[in-house]
Amino acid sequence: MKKPAPHRRNGTERYSIAMVAACAFPANHGSPASVREMSDTLSQMGHDVHIVTYSTGQKDIVVRYAKIHRTGPFRPETNARVGPSSEKFLEDFALLRLLLRVVRRERIDVIHAHNYEAALIGMMAKWITGRPLLYNAVNLMSDELAGYNFIRPAWLARAIARALDWFVPIFPDRITAVSPELKQWLIERGTPEQKVDMVPAGIVPELFENADPEKIRRRHRINGRAIVMYAGVLNAFQRIDYLLRAFAVVSKQLPDALLMMVSALVSESHQREHKKLADQLGVSDAIMWIAPHSLEDLPSYLALASVAVISRPECPGHPVKLLNYMLAGKPIVCFEGAAKGLHHLHDAFIVPNHDCEALGQGIITLLKDHELAARLGANARTTVITNFDWRQICRRIERIYDRLLGKSELIDRQSEHHAFARLQP
């Protein structure tokens, strides 16, 4: 199928992009949020962006500019399931058929696939249509698949995950990795360095402009307590058990502190497991479990936090929750593995991986030292606005599209180094 020349847009190319999202979309967490914000930003920049996705999604989240193509009539879903399922495998076949139709009907220039399932679908579409494939790598299956408890026994899940980690990067024409660690992992395992670009997830600075913490304080009847907050999903790979053990350290010294576990998704099985551990640690009375919450309320929840925490140590990707914490200007305590683009005592309090005692002591330090906490939070917000604005990141993605379509043969490595130097560990 002959492809027409791309349109011109203010002296640059205007492309037609198929964003493949093998998930409920839009949704108020992680990758779906990044796909929505990236797509809308590229659309505002003049590109013709088509999001190819499942029939399900959250009704209250607006996709403002990109066009959405679904495998079936829209089915509102308030609690999207994260991870593999038999139902998703069936829908993936429908997603491939839809993607092929969109590529032909919309005269797509580039297939841009996010995460593993979308990458596999994108590969097949690439072979059939001849369109170049850009794969946005945000995680490793070996880090997550066993934690979903979908494939049993666990050793089989780990074996399949390792196979996927090896297989998937072979076929895309180009890969963007959301962290330096993930880019290095891919290169060390055989992916040509010139094939991989480090392009992080981003933020929309205006998202947190209308935060109303007092609304949340009234809703949950919270009066004057120091609040330690986690805002994310509760899957096993997030190591909520580490956070609960760290909070037990906090409670011994600061018994009035409150831990708020704020999740966009309801996960009864995970929450039940975490509550059992909290009972064993004797901290259940000091924990508030909140799920689900709306995207509109997320800024208000984070504005209420005294300290924000990430308890995941091994994290090859870039946690979207970290960007949210930074944009909210919150003092952050996290393990080294999650501290993407952050520096200890400059814009976060960073502790050694797996050291729950140190994580707890870091929280205590920031709850007691208000001056340090305020400085770290302010610096974190400056860092995220300087380095992670989607408008800057999408200009980088434009240049990758140029190279995929033969519009630029050389990579400006010096420019890349300067733009992302702060992201290096």
Q: DSSP letters along 205-225, please?
A: GGGGTT--HHHHHHHHT--S-
Sign of the dihedral through C-alpha 296, 239, 148, 175: positive
Residue 293: the pLDDT is: 86
Torsion angle, CA of 209/214/218/220, rounded to 10 degrees?
60
- For the chain, the maximum distance between any two Cα atoms, rounded to a whole number of angstroms, is 69
Dihedral of alpha carbons 127, 113, 199, 336, sign: negative
Q: Which residues contact 169 (CB under 8 A, 6 or more apart)?
A: 135, 137, 175, 186, 189, 191
Quote the percentage of the chain above a pLDDT of 90.
Answer: 68
Q: Which domains does the chain have, with CATH numbers?
A: 7-138+172-202+389-423 (3.40.50.2000), 206-387 (3.40.50.2000)
Q: How confident is the model at residue 414 (pLDDT cuts 50, 70, 90)?
A: very low
Residues 425, 343 contacting (CB under 8 angstroms): no
pLDDT at residue 88, rounded to an integer: 74
- State residue 424's pLDDT score: 53
Helical (H) or strand (E) element with 184? helix 180-188
pTM: 0.83
Instruction: State the Cα torsion 50-53-57-63 to the nearest 10°.
Output: -10
- pLDDT for 413 equals 47
Task: Measure Cα distances from 386 to 70, 203, 328 in Å.
Answer: 35, 11, 14
Residue 6 pLDDT more than 50? no
Residue 411 has a pLDDT of 42
Q: What is the model's pLDDT at position 351? A: 98
Q: Residue 170: which H helix or E strand, with range?
A: none
Cβ atoms 283, 152 nearer than 8 A:
no
Q: Any idea which residue has 């630029």 for tokens?
A: 408
- Partners of 162 in the β-ladder: none
Question: In 3-state terms, what secondary structure has residue 230?
Answer: strand
Evaluated on CA atoms 289, 297, 57, 131, the torsion sign reads: negative
Burial 271-300 (b: 16+ CB within 10 A, else e): beebeeebeebebeebbebbbbbebebbbb
